[in-house]
Amino acid sequence: MIRTTIATAALAALALATPAAAETAMPFALDWKFEGPAAPYFVAVDKGHFEAEGLTVEVSEGAGSLDAIPKVATGAFPVGFADINSLMKFLDQNPGAPVTAVMMVYDKPPFSVVGRKSLGIAAPADLEGKVLGAPPPDGAWAQFPIFAAETGLDMAAITVEPVGFPTREPMLAEGKVAAVTGFSFSSTLNLIRLGVPEDDISVLLMADHGVALYGNAVIVNTDFAEANPEAVTGFIRAVARGWQDSIADPDMAIEALVERNPAADPALEKRRLEMAVEANVLTDWVKANGMGGIDETRMATAIEQTKSVYEFVNAPDAELYFTSEYLPTDGSLTLE
């Protein structure tokens, strides 16, 4: 069980001690490095969207899809960005931990197996008899058993090589593994940057092979949210505006990113952002329903798929993993 008493008390005290007119500090823990898909959050900072909601937001890098969950659950950060499927397992293993998702961002998750055609990877079945590189904390690797079940793969026929995030794509570029698990936009463009010909890269998006899961969402410390509901709604609205601005002007968005990560390749990160928008964020469902929410039927299917590869200690409950109560209802979540 995650112990949250001190953190919860601190958050409550902060909320009580802050004058109504003062800005609310909401440091935001990302899942990964400052790459293209992180640009909308910097746009929201630079364009004053958070400030307009009475919020002061500092964005911090993460170290993987699981990284932000304990940070938010313990109260170290009031909000974060994390894989909702990993959140399900975390809450099952830490019942009562004060964390839940409040805004779906990756309506179609970027979980993928990325391989090289020259190494024999063009379809899921090609993974059998090959070496697959997988970072243990990787969100895509966590869902690989569902992908394997949906595609009829024999996992015993695949040699899994645990790799670190920094060595994942270099190992594939060097031919030390035939494929890796990862986010489609990250692994693909990292390989291109390493000199792998684009026509040699095969991307097996798990969502295209029967995996009904959702992807990354904005998560919140529920104690903080209960004490500061308007701040959470304002945060969501500002994030949506950051994505709207970034979709309308990706060059501007990448400028905001490069200010925080001067070593970034602007052209590559722009493409990474656009890949994320096209494949993961601006889906047909989001175009029809707006950003941030979920489809309850699909979520039920996602839970059933998770049950097929993960043994829940406690009965799974979608209401523990996602709440729509903080989503703004003023039309600000529209994406097009």
Q: Is the pLDDT of residue 68 over 80?
A: yes
Q: What are phi and psi of 86, to 5 degrees?
A: -70, -35
pLDDT recorded at residue 127: 98
Is 78 within 8 Å of 11 (Cβ atoms)?
yes
Q: How far apart are CA 335 and CA 243, in angstroms?
A: 8
SS3 state of residue 261: coil
Q: Is the pLDDT of residue 334 over 90?
A: yes
| Banded model confidence at residue 89, pLDDT cuts 50, 70, 90 | very high
pLDDT recorded at residue 185: 87
SS3 state of residue 319: helix
pLDDT recorded at residue 336: 81
State the chain's maximal CA–CA distance in angstroms. Answer: 62
Q: Is the pLDDT of residue 141 over 70?
A: yes
Work out the average pLDDT over 165-178. Answer: 97
pLDDT recorded at residue 14: 44
For the chain, how many helices (H) and strands (E)?
15, 12
Q: Does domain 5-108+213-321 have CATH number 3.40.190.10?
A: yes
Work out the average pLDDT over 93-103. Answer: 98
pLDDT recorded at residue 10: 44
Work out the average pLDDT over 166-182. Answer: 97
Percent of the chain predicted with pLDDT > 90: 86
Q: How far apart are CA 306 and CA 38, in angstroms?
A: 27
pLDDT recorded at residue 142: 85
Work out the average pLDDT over 320-335. Answer: 96
Work out the average pLDDT over 91-110. Answer: 97
Same fold, 5-108+213-321 and 111-209: yes
Output the pTM of the full model: 0.85
Name the residue ranges covered by the structural domains of the chain.
Answer: 5-108+213-321, 111-209
| Banded model confidence at residue 299, pLDDT cuts 50, 70, 90 | very high
Q: Is the pLDDT of residue 69 over 90?
A: yes
On average, the pLDDT of the chain sits at: 92
* Helix intervals (H) in the chain: 5-17, 39-46, 49-52, 68-73, 84-93, 139-151, 165-173, 184-193, 222-227, 229-248, 250-260, 266-276, 284-289, 296-309, 318-321
Q: How far apart are CA 145 and CA 117, in angstroms?
A: 22
Q: Which superfamily does 111-209 belong to?
A: Periplasmic binding protein-like II (3.40.190.10)
Q: What is the pLDDT of residues 32-57, one digit of tens each?
A: 899 999 999 999 999 999 999 999 99
Q: What is the pLDDT of residues 229-287, one digit of tens each?
A: 999 999 999 999 999 999 999 999 999 999 999 999 999 999 999 999 999 999 999 99
Q: How many residues does the chain have?
A: 336
| Banded model confidence at residue 7, pLDDT cuts 50, 70, 90 | very low
